Amino acid sequence: MNKKDLHFLSVVEQGRLLRDRELSPVELTEAYLERTERLNSRLFAYITVTAERALEQARRAEEEIGRGEYRGPLHGIPIAVKDQMWTEGIRTTNASVLLRDFVPEEDATVISRIKEAGVVLLGKLNMSEFASGGRFMFPYGRTRNPWNTDYEPGSSSSGSGAAVAAGMCATSLGEDTSGSIRHPSSWCGVVGLRPTWGRVSRYGLMPIIWSMDQAGPMSRSVEDAAITLQPICRHDPKDPNTADVPVPDFRKALTGSLPMGSSGEELRVGVIRELTEDEQVTPEVRRAFLRAVEMLVDLGAEVEEVSVPLAPWARLIFYTHMYVEMPARYKEWMDERLTEFDYDQQVKFLTGSLVPGELYVKVQRLRTMLRRQVHDALGQFDVLTSPTMRVTAPRIRPNVMPASKEDSADLLVRGPDQTPTVPLSNVTAMNVPCGFAGPEAGGMPIGMQLIGRPFREDVILATAHAYEQATPWHRQRPEIFKA
């Protein structure tokens, strides 16, 4: 098999070839390392490439498979992870100069669990500083979108989205606090799933907001995401907030048809009115999303509009949490090393330190109201849906601070993403590609967001898989694939 063809294969296909010993883990790993060496200077998707370790792991996987000790569908698969996750013996920078020399002495739980599954770790992926969207300093390079390197890839798991889309790893792990898996997944045209808070251990995951941080898969297909998700889901004594609940076999839910609804009849899908209105999203995003909804109807879903009145304000509620919690979490560094942070980060820290307790309490009440609205909607519908992002990926431009209070307020309240409603409500959600913009908008990818009840990742995975199998979007490849 031509090495160039290997990058196009799904994890499912690669796993079958490795299991049947028609493909060597070493050969597959070498192919990804060669591609990464060729493309990373254009995309800046990786901060650290661990080539020697990866080849050693690949040789070990080849020996194990040769002895009949096959561990499962991730055994020998080359994966990369966001540089927010501790990796024993490998520097973990959180995309900050403050941590450029930090080498953890142990793995994050999600890393130890994918290692148990037999993966080959290619390296650590680029991201926004401290996973909170710094916009001025890019100490490890500014990640580019593989569909067009003049465009933004999304944040904060920018490297994860770009690397998966560009074929620089077979699958990846990102992290989602407000939407940092779903945002770059939408703009890079890949699948990204945020598990329910508590489904996946956060031990060794550098924190932003303790009640919202969550790691999850970013992959080129729904089935690959299900495979990547499976080993990281279970209770962890090191993280007391992980839920001790059953973990289903996520791949078994993927039949190519929509799942049955909880009533035993058709799947009921609620379109969130406030996140779909003309004034909320661009015309191209709305058109692509409504075509995707029509496909769900054709597949047998019962679709109606549903109102979540506070959804358009979720971004403001979320950022108030982040502005308050991050400076409290990193107070020592803020007091002693503030100027080493991205300038945008410095502003966030200093501003958040001034937020009065009375305002924070009000925002907590708003969060409770929003959560109640989302859970009420999920009591009526099996799945909620909206466009993942209000707009398609914009061109990369020099970043400047907002010119006025009005501009700052608009950025804080509106922004490009429609994702914060999910972590504020402690539910699960994913992005699935649903189309592309026209040439005037750069032909960039568009994503549909599917939101599910707590711990029902199987339902949104099955819904996304049925939609994916009926549409061509997951088979599209950016031009950089031809490089």
Catalytic residues, by residue number, are 82, 156, 180
What does the H/E/C string look like for 323-339? Answer: HHHHHHHCHHHHHHHHH
State whether the Cα torsion 121-125-129-132 is positive or negative: negative
CA atoms within 13 A on the CB side of 301: 29
H or E stretch at 347: helix 343-352
Q: d(Cα 120, Cα 73) in Å, to the nearest integer? A: 12
Main-chain phi, psi angles of 151, to 5 degrees: -115, 160
Query: Is cis: bond before 185, omega within 30 of 0?
Result: no
**Which residues are registered as beta bridge partners of 384?**
270, 451
Q: d(Cα 361, Cα 168) in Å, to the nearest integer? A: 44
Q: Which residues 6+ apart lie within 8 Å of 147 measured at CB?
A: 165, 188, 189, 393, 442, 443, 444, 445, 478, 479, 480
Helix segments in 381-419, DSSP class H: 405-413
Q: d(Cα 54, Cα 78) in Å, to the nearest integer? A: 8
Q: d(Cα 125, Cα 143) in Å, to the nearest integer? A: 10
Under 8 Å between Cβ of 241 and 355? no
Closest CA to 299 of 79, 125, 467, 163: 467
Q: d(Cα 358, Cα 263) in Å, to the nearest integer? A: 43
